[in-house]
Chains A and B, each alone.
Chain A
Amino acid sequence: MVTRLPEAGLERAGRLGPAIAVERRAVRCGRPSGGVMEDERSFSDICGGRLALQRRYYSPSCREFCLSCPRLSLRSLTAVTCTVWLAAYGLFTLCENSMILSAAIFITLLGLLGYLHFVKIDQETLLIIDSLGIQMTSSYASGKESTTFIEMDKVKDIVINEAIYMQKVIYYLCILLKDPVEPHGISQVVPVFQSAKPRLDCLIEVYRSCQEILAHQKATSTSP
């Protein structure tokens, strides 16, 4: 079967000579038009805070979405510290025990460190790689990173779902995982961007890009 060879491949096939006259289809990866496309846009989350979505298109099969949450505000930090210390001072005037003041300082410091390390998420990243999988990373304010990787075999689909959150109904993006037992069933729903909670416009951007890659993945996958 004769296939159309690109220019460079044809040249190379000719040089090898008649000894190795095998039909070949030489393929080169990484088209010159590909590259790292980066762009940044600003969105808002469900409470009205500012979010920055950074998109990086490494290649047609690999895309990354990075959502930055608003940082810890100095105002709230000052307010909490002042409240705790005023309460401690009030107790001190009642009990005349200076341990209360040192305990209050200790508690404030430990509380702040614990909050930065375990609670405050600075950035959430979604990396989708065709035929490999989807990776979600949360970076905390103290530098800690927590990563989850889901293989592409387990991913059924990415959808935007609605949920009741406190007194609101919000949209969120989630990954549906296949059920190993039942072919049309869903074993788990994994929400994405849980702490950033962006609004629908941001979600639609991410959803469209992910669907392009998933469609490509389904078209070229060898297993049914």
Chain B
Amino acid sequence: MVLKAFFPTCCVSADSGLLVGRWVPEHSSAVVLAVLHFPFIPVQVKQLLAQVRQASQVGVAVLGTWCHCRQEPEESLGRFLEGLGAVFPHEPWLQLCRERGGTFWSCEVTHQQAPAAPSAPGEDQVMLIFYDQRQVLLSQLHPPTVLPDRQAGATPASTGGLAAVFDTVARSEVLFRSDRFDEGPVRLSHWQSEGVEASILAELARRASGPVCLLLASLLSLVSAVGACRVFKLWPLSFVGSKLSTCEQLRHRLEHLTLIFSMRKAENSAQLMRKVNMLASVLLDVALGLTLLSWLHGRSRIGHLADALVPVADHVAEELQHLLQWLMGAPAGLKMNRALDQVLGRFFLYHIHLWISYIHLMSPFVEHILWHVGLSACLGLTVALSLLSDIIALLTFHIYCFYVYGARWGAALGRPWAWGPADARRAGPSPQLFIGTLLFTILLFLLPTTALYYLVFTLLRLLVVAVQGLIHLLVDLINSLPLYSLGLRLCRPYRLAAGVKFRVLQHEAGRPLRLLMQINPLPYSRVMHTYRLPSCGCHPKDSWGALCRKLFFGELIYPWRQRGDKQD
């Protein structure tokens, strides 16, 4: 198998020394983590490596020597470097050499024992793969490979070679803690040797997060305690609370906030990402809500809206009355049953009259109501949108009533279809049969009239459902968008890795093959799919097919959630 030497790009210009890293025998790869410079005391080096092995559970060892000098190494240096192989025994022993200021790289591999199946001499080859240590350390492979074995040096053979490389670098953070300004016994070269990376803001945030989380968690537990108290479990409030989408959205947000400010630390990176995504979603929500609030309250827009509301309602009522007049006549040339037509038409006209009176009653209070509803936008745009959706449902309640009447009537007429001639034959000739047949015939001839009314009101209902659906779609989008992950993918693409890609560097005859390994970032669609937040179940449950089926058979389409329909 070709021997692969993973070499960090930060050590390419480092001075001569020892190669410190991990050897993965299953994939025949040597992952170089750092370069240890001369002068050193072998005992101290061995102590340091033992400490690192203990702390990180990675089988770190001295893999070979690194020589960075002006021209071909001199005899004495060559002998010295080979002698080191006896001090730090490792199988196989790597000897990397680079000419200063040139592109001459050479690599030798020495085996202490002859291998079990000796291939022809000169068959073994070495490949040098350069990797950016910082990017590989910070990145996260998707799908994440679970490595259950955490003993020193043990990697299950089923994981790919690259996952092992990423895992090795990620777990060896202990090795990268010291930089060249430290007064330690050994001098290492790695990605942090010019100075350990740290951010004042991150440190301050970490210190402050403890007490802030405690305070907010206690506040939130108070709010949930109030929400869970006995009063809300009584019948009218609990019924209303479970039907309104605003209450559902508020509950959802409360859950999110409780999770964000909980005192438990995130166990793995997926949970941490989820927490940060939730926080970003809440912040976006509140920001958009405050923008809406400032827009609404500026330049007396609420007044304009309130003034426009009542005429619009009047206009809608008038149009509905015209529609009913048209149905009571001969709609589209169809001949309707006069009596039933008049009854149904008058019944629905009376309903509209009631609704218009109710709107006119409410008209002085509309502006105040809108003002207070606008205030709810500071809790978040999603809350304001849910409130809007609930108001639409309440205002178009009359259409819902018409639709329900039409559906129930249609179902009542449909039932005789089930009790048909077959049952009559089984029952035998009887007075019940005569009455049943008569009823059936009458209802059959009344069906077109009721079907027409049902059709018209169902279309209106569908319009309202469509508008509500759009609003809920928008709410869902804001709820489930993983903003932090998308931002990370945009600004730091190496953090979310779908894989790696290789580029062949300039190759000369007789030299080892050199490759540059770069991170292949995750595509945006996979970022959305992996990190999207679970949405609450306020949107219409039915898919389009189920909706059509319900419409055809006259089942009711409820404007709110049904009990037992809760989506995780």
Q: Which residues from chain A sit less than 8 Å from chain B, CB to CB?
A: 1, 3-6, 12, 15-16, 20, 22-36, 58-62, 64, 127, 129-132, 135, 137, 147-149, 151, 153-154, 180, 220-223
Stretch of B339-347, B434-442, B512-520, B533-541 that contacts chain A: B512-520
Residues of B71-128 whose CB lies within 8 A of A: 78-79, 82-83, 86, 107-114, 118-119, 121-127
Chain A residue at smallest Cβ distance from B504: A58
Distance (whole angstroms) from the CB of B87 to the closest CB of chain A = 11
State whether A147 touches B86 (Cβ < 8 A).
Answer: no
State whether B121 touches A27 (Cβ < 8 A).
Answer: yes
Chain A residues with CB under 8 A of B119? 220
State whether A129 touches B127 (Cβ < 8 A).
Answer: yes
Stretch of B11-19, B43-51, B153-161, B488-496 that contacts chain A: B153-161
Distance (whole angstroms) from the CB of B30 to the closest CB of chain A = 13
Assembled-state Cα–Cα distance A24/B110 (Å): 7
Assembled-state Cα–Cα distance A23/B114 (Å): 8
What band does the interface of chain B fall in when counting residues whose beta carbon is under 8 Å from A? Answer: 35 or more
State whether B26 touches A132 (Cβ < 8 A).
Answer: no
State whether B107 touches A129 (Cβ < 8 A).
Answer: no
A-B contact pairs, 8 of them (CB 8 A): A23-B114, A26-B110, A27-B111, A29-B124, A35-B509, A62-B504, A131-B27, A151-B162
The 4 closest A-B pairs by CB, nearest first: A35-B509, A147-B501, A29-B126, A131-B2
Chain B residues with CB under 8 A of A4? 121
State whether B114 touches A59 (Cβ < 8 A).
Answer: no
State whether A221 touches B1 (Cβ < 8 A).
Answer: yes
Query: Which residue, B78, B121, B158, B508, has most C-beta atoms of chain A within 10 A?
Result: B121
**8 Å CB contact of A129 from B86, B121, B160, B515:** B515
Chain A residues with CB under 8 A of B499? 148-149
Distance (whole angstroms) from the CB of B257 to the closest CB of chain A = 39
State whether B125 touches A149 (Cβ < 8 A).
Answer: no
State whether B125 touches A59 (Cβ < 8 A).
Answer: yes
Assembled-state Cα–Cα distance A57/B25 (Å): 27
State whether A131 touches B108 (Cβ < 8 A).
Answer: no
With A151-B160, A151-B161, A153-B161 as contacts: A16 and B82 at CB distance below 8 Å? yes
State whether B28 touches A59 (Cβ < 8 A).
Answer: no
State whether B121 touches A153 (Cβ < 8 A).
Answer: no
When each residue 1-39 of chain B gets 1 if its CB lies under 8 Å from chain A and 0 otherwise, what string results? 110100000000000000000000011100000000000
With A23-B113, A61-B125, A148-B499 as contacts: A34 and B510 at CB distance below 8 Å? yes
Assembled-state Cα–Cα distance A132/B500 (Å): 11
Chain A residues with CB under 8 A of B158? 180
When each residue 233-269 of chain B gets 1 if its CB lies under 8 Å from chain A and 0 otherwise, what string results? 0000000000000000000000000000000000000
Assembled-state Cα–Cα distance A32/B510 (Å): 5
- Is B419 among interface residues, defined by CB-CB distance under 8 A? no
State whether A29 touches B512 (Cβ < 8 A).
Answer: yes
Chain A residues with CB under 8 A of B326? none
Distance (whole angstroms) from the CB of B108 to the closest CB of chain A = 6
State whether B508 touches A222 (Cβ < 8 A).
Answer: no
Chain B residue at smallest Cβ distance from A58: B507
Chain A residue at smallest Cβ distance from B124: A27
Chain B residues with CB under 8 A of A35? 507-510
Chain B residues with CB under 8 A of A16? 79, 82-83
- Is B511 among interface residues, defined by CB-CB distance under 8 A? yes
**8 Å CB contact of B111 from A6, A25, A31, A180:** A25
**8 Å CB contact of A3 from B26, B118, B500:** B118
Chain B residues with CB under 8 A of A147? 501, 520
With A26-B110, A153-B161 as contacts: A31 and B500 at CB distance below 8 Å? no
Chain B residues with CB under 8 A of A137? 501
- Is B502 among interface residues, defined by CB-CB distance under 8 A? yes
Assembled-state Cα–Cα distance A29/B510 (Å): 7
State whether B79 touches A131 (Cβ < 8 A).
Answer: no
Query: Which residue, A12, A30, A154, has most C-beta atoms of chain B within 10 A?
Result: A30
Chain B residue at smallest Cβ distance from A1: B114
With A29-B124, A127-B502, A131-B4 as contacts: A61 and B513 at CB distance below 8 Å? yes
Chain B residues with CB under 8 A of A60? 125
Chain B residue at smallest Cβ distance from A131: B2
State whether A3 touches B114 (Cβ < 8 A).
Answer: yes
Distance (whole angstroms) from the CB of B217 to the closest CB of chain A = 42
Chain B residues with CB under 8 A of A22? 112
State whether A131 touches B1 (Cβ < 8 A).
Answer: yes
Chain B residue at smallest Cβ distance from A60: B125
Residues of B209-235 whose CB lies within 8 A of A: none
**8 Å CB contact of B109 from A6, A29, A131, A148:** A29
